[in-house]
């Protein structure tokens, strides 16, 4: 079996990014109350690590949140989240909740309809849904 098939052979699936955050409590509250995820767990006394999740539709979403030490530099991430239905409605719901969202959803040349927002620590969240077929890209050699 070729090296490129190891993921298939071993059934690699799911990705659980770890986001550094300045204030774990604030971040958990924002992801749960504003974005609509659920608290999975908190770790430490006082908590300095946690995970939020969404298991309701399609592939699960897990985001780990790790509080940085005072004075430590906060590295920012970019995450893309797939929206299965009504990306425009999700944008409107976030606006109604007072989430600071960017421009309204727009069709992108890569076949997704997307909008962006930033969490309290500056991590960029891009929400996208399929919008139109895209011409096949050039084949990538194995």
pLDDT, tens digit (0-9, with 9 covering 90-100), for 68-123: 998 898 899 999 999 988 999 999 999 999 999 988 999 999 999 999 999 999 99
* CA-closest candidate to residue 19, choices 142, 137, 125: 125
* CA-closest candidate to residue 35, choices 126, 138, 107, 140: 126
pLDDT at residue 31, rounded to an integer: 96
At 125 the three-state DSSP class reads strand
| Residue 61 β-bridge partners | 54
How far apart (Å, rounded) are the C-alpha atoms in residues 120 and 69? 17
The overall average pLDDT reported for the chain is 88
Examine the pLDDT at 129 and tell me if it is beyond 70. yes
Segment holding 25, helix H or strand E: helix 24-29
Q: Kindly indicate the confidence band of residue 3, based on its pLDDT and cuts at 50, 70 and 90.
A: low
pTM summary value = 0.84
């Amino acid at each position: 079996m070729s090296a490129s098939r190891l993921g298939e052979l071993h059934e690699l699936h799911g990705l659980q990014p770890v986001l550094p955050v300045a204030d774990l409590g604030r971040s958990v509250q924002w992801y749960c109350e504003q974005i609509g995820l659920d608290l999975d767990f908190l770790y430490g006394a006082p908590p300095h690590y946690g995970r939020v999740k969404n298991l309701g539709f399609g592939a699960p979403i897990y985001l780990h949140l790790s509080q940085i030490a005072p004075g430590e530099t906060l590295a920012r991430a970019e995450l893309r989240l797939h929206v299965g239905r009504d990306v425009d409605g999700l944008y409107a719901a976030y606006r109604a909740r007072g989430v600071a969202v960017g421009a309204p959803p727009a069709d992108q040349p890569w076949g997704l309809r997307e909008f962006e927002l930033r969490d309290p620590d500056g991590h960029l969240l891009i929400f996208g849904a399929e919008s139109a077929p895209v011409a096949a890209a050039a084949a990538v050699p194995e």
